[in-house]
Amino acid sequence: MSRVPTALIAALTLVVGFFVAQVTGVRALGGLVLLAGVAWCVWRSRTAGVARLVAVVVVGAVCFVAAHVLAPTLGAWPAVLLVAAVLGVVTWALVDRRA
C-alpha cells in the first residue's frame, strides 16, 4: 500500500464517499467514508508536516463544498469527479511530490 500515492486515496475518498451516500441513501454513511479517508491520509502522510496536512484537509473541505455548489450546473457525478481531481493534484503537490 505504500506505493499507492496519498493523492489517489484522497481523490477516491470523495468519489467513494459520494457513491456510498448515493447508493445507500444515507448521507451520514458517505460522511463516515470521508472521515475515514481523511484520517487515513493524515496518518499516512504525517511526516509531511502539520502545515501541509492542514492545507490538504482545508482544500478537501473546500472541494466537498464546491461539489455541492457545482452539482446543479455540472451534474452530481461530474462535479464530484472534478473536485476529486483537484484534491488529488493538490495532495500530490503538497504531500506525495515532497516524498
pLDDT in tens, the chain (99 residues): 568 899 999 999 999 999 999 999 999 999 999 999 999 999 999 889 999 999 999 999 999 999 999 999 999 999 999 999 999 999 999 999 865
Whole-angstrom Cα distance, residue 5 to residue 91? Answer: 9
Does this model's pTM top 0.75? My answer is yes
Give Cα separations from 69 to 8, 89, 99 (angstroms).
Answer: 23, 20, 33
Rounded to whole angstroms, the Cα distance separating 33 from 18 reads 9
For residues 21 and 98, is the Cβ–Cβ distance under 8 A?
no
Residues sharing a CB contact under 8 Å with residue 47, sequence separation 6 or more, in sequence order: 99
Residue 22 contacts by C-beta under 8 Å, 6 or more apart in sequence? 30, 76
